[in-house]
Amino acid sequence: MAEVHHHHVHNQDPEAGAEQRKAIWKTFWILLIITSLEFLIAFTVPHGVLKVSIFIVMTIVKAFYIVGEFMHLKHETKTLIWSILVPVIFVAWLILALLLEGNAIFEAIFA
Amino acid sequence: MASHVTTPGAVEPKMWLGGIEPMKASYGKLMMWFFLISDTFTFSALLVAYGTARFSFPAFTGKHEDFTFSNMYWPVPERVYEAVPFLHGISLPLVFVGIMTFILIASSVTMVLAVEAGHRMDRANVEKYMLWTILGGFTFLGCQAWEWSHFIHGTDAGTVMKVIENGTWVEKTIFGANLTENQYGPPAFADFFFFITGFHGTHVFSGVILNILIFFRAATGFYDKRGSYEMVEKVGLYWHFVDLVWVFVFTFFYLV
């Protein structure tokens, strides 16, 4: 334990990273407020297409902040951002295909 | 800030064996991203299967207040998840799952604060925030254990249901749920609950184990010796992903 190799210089400046910490807490408040709004909507808006659409939009906004800020993807190179986002197209296709399939099963059995 | 300015090119570039650094990310970080993409596919498959099952079942069409448990239609989740520890018999729809969501988001914040401290080689703060993250993870797991236990044991009255047993229709009172019986609705609803929240809980558990390992290595000076706290960042990516999955589970299993 005696020999400690420092490749980086120890940063003693207390102001260092203050901006990142501010951004982190800002993201926290955004996530908290959106989640609280979701609760409010869950008990005030009647169940239907509008309610589900609002929930989906809010979920995507939350996902954007978690992936972009917490996982830092927003600040990576463009190639990395696209390498992560493009495969999600397959997920979108899977959702569409299987929800239609589920609906077809419903029609075949109950309609 | 002015006290510590790095001259461009002074930092030793991190090269992979081919002599370049693809996408300006280290090998480990990039592989964590690709692992998370594969994990995204797994969780998507589970959630999409849930959607398919839900769309192929009749939905409850009446008012939410008139909802009763039945295996003839898909249940309204806010009427299934309305129990809170120590408040037996009081209907508090989605309150407990809301608390769980808050715990996970908070632990994601402490994790990213640990990553930020790691960038400054600030060992004390890495230790502090890793401990908070570990605590958040264990609290979430404890909440989930309680929720599972409640879901499995069921309500006091149970639900009278007509089910097929050994080839004949029988009427019986069902308490709670397992993989074949479910007092809250069709058995498939309980199956998806166990598989989706169970698979997510397994991820949280693995995350807590990794976080403990990171805390231990930070506390024993391993990363100071190595000269880099990048491992905190890599495990941080995994932990945030677990939070991300919960955001989707919360919406599509509990809210919609």
The predicted-structure confidence for B45-70, as pLDDT tens digits, reads as follows 999 999 999 999 998 888 877 889 99
Inspect the interface and report whether the beta carbons of A9 and B4 lie closer than 8 Å.
yes
Is A104 within a domain? yes
Instruction: Say if residue A25 is in the same domain as residue A70.
Output: yes
Q: Contact B154/B161 with Cβ under 8 angstroms?
A: no
Is A8 within a domain? no
Mean of pLDDT values over A63-89: 94
> Which candidate from B23, B106, B225 shows the least CB-CB separation from A4?
B225
Query: How close A87 gets to chain B, by Cα (Å)?
Result: 8
Report the pLDDT value the prediction gives residue B91, as an integer from 0 to 100.
Answer: 86
Report the pLDDT value the prediction gives residue B16, as an integer from 0 to 100.
Answer: 82
Measured in whole angstroms, the distance separating CA B111 from the mean position of its chain's CA atoms is 15
* Each residue's pLDDT tens digit, A3-37: 444 444 455 566 778 889 999 999 999 999 999 99
> In degrees rounded to 5, what are phi and psi of residue B170?
-130, 150
Instruction: Say if residue A25 is in the same domain as residue A45.
Output: yes
Query: What is the Cα–Cα distance from B98 to B80, expressed in whole angstroms?
Result: 14
Inspect the interface and report whether the beta carbons of A76 and B221 lie closer than 8 Å.
no
Which residues in chain A have their CB less than 8 angstroms from residue B52's CB?
98-99, 101-102, 105
Q: How many structural domains comprise chain A? A: 2
Is A9 within a domain? no
In chain B the domains, ranked by start, together with CATH numbers, are 26-255 (1.20.120.80)
Chain B residue closest to A17 (CA)? B116
Instruction: Say if residue A84 is in the same domain as residue A49.
Output: no
Instruction: Say if residue A105 is in the same domain as residue A90.
Output: yes
E strands present in chain A: none
Query: How close B182 gets to chain A, by Cα (Å)?
Result: 21
Instruction: Say if residue A90 is in the same domain as residue A66.
Output: no
* Each residue's pLDDT tens digit, B187-243: 999 999 999 999 999 999 999 999 999 999 999 999 999 999 999 999 999 999 999
Mean of pLDDT values over B79-93: 88
Report the pLDDT value the prediction gives residue B14, as an integer from 0 to 100.
Answer: 62
Query: What is the Cα–Cα distance from A10 to A8, expressed in whole angstroms?
Result: 6
Report the pLDDT value the prediction gives residue B61, as an integer from 0 to 100.
Answer: 84
Instruction: Say if residue A82 is in the same domain as residue A101.
Output: yes
pLDDT at B114 over 80: yes
Instruction: Say if residue A102 is in the same domain as residue A70.
Output: no
Inspect the interface and report whether the beta carbons of B23 and A9 lie closer than 8 Å.
no
What amino acid occupies position B46?
L
Mean of pLDDT values over B103-111: 96
Give the residue numbers spanning the domain of A98. 77-111
Computed over every residue of chain B, the mean pLDDT equals 91
Percent of residues, chain B, with pLDDT higher than 70: 95
A103 part of contact set with chain B, CB < 8 Å:
yes
Q: Which of A3, A67, A70 to mutate to test the interface with B (most CBs of B within 10 A)?
A: A70
Which residues in chain B have their CB less than 8 angstroms from residue A99's CB?
48, 51-52, 55
Query: Count of CB atoms within 10 A of residue B81's CB?
Result: 22
Three-class DSSP category at B171 = strand
DSSP annotation of B177 reads B
A4 part of contact set with chain B, CB < 8 Å:
yes
Which residues in chain A have their CB less than 8 angstroms from residue B119's CB?
17, 20
Instruction: Say if residue A104 is in the same domain as residue A70.
Output: no
Q: What element of type H or E holds B163?
A: strand B159-165
Q: A13-22, A28-37, B107-116, B149-158: lowest mean pLDDT where?
A: A13-22
Is A67 within a domain? yes
Percent of residues, chain A, with pLDDT higher than 90: 72
Banded model confidence at residue B171, pLDDT cuts 50, 70, 90: very high
Banded model confidence at residue A2, pLDDT cuts 50, 70, 90: very low
pLDDT at B85 over 70: yes
Instruction: Say if residue A45 is in the same domain as residue A89.
Output: no
Interface of A with B in 15-74 (CB under 8 A): 15-17, 20-21, 24-25, 27-28, 31-32, 35, 38-39, 42-43, 47, 52, 55-56, 58-59, 62-63, 66-67, 69-71
Distances, alpha carbon A53 to alpha carbons A39, A47, B119, B209, B251, in Å: 15, 11, 39, 37, 11
Instruction: Say if residue A41 is in the same domain as residue A70.
Output: yes
Inspect the interface and report whether the beta carbons of B243 and A70 lie closer than 8 Å.
yes
Q: What element of type H or E holds B164?
A: strand B159-165
Is A87 within a domain? yes
> Which candidate from B94, B106, B241 shows the least CB-CB separation from A39?
B94
Nearby residues of B254 by Cβ (< 8 Å), 6 or more positions away: B77, B78, B81, B94, B97
Instruction: Say if residue A94 is in the same domain as residue A69.
Output: no
Report the pLDDT value the prediction gives residue B13, as an integer from 0 to 100.
Answer: 54
Mean of pLDDT values over B241-255: 95
pLDDT at B6 over 90: no
Report the pLDDT value the prediction gives residue A14, as an integer from 0 to 100.
Answer: 63
* Each residue's pLDDT tens digit, B119-142: 999 999 999 999 999 999 999 999
Distances, alpha carbon B114 to alpha carbons A35, A48, A52, B31, B205, in Å: 24, 41, 35, 21, 19
Instruction: Say if residue A65 is in the same domain as residue A110.
Output: no
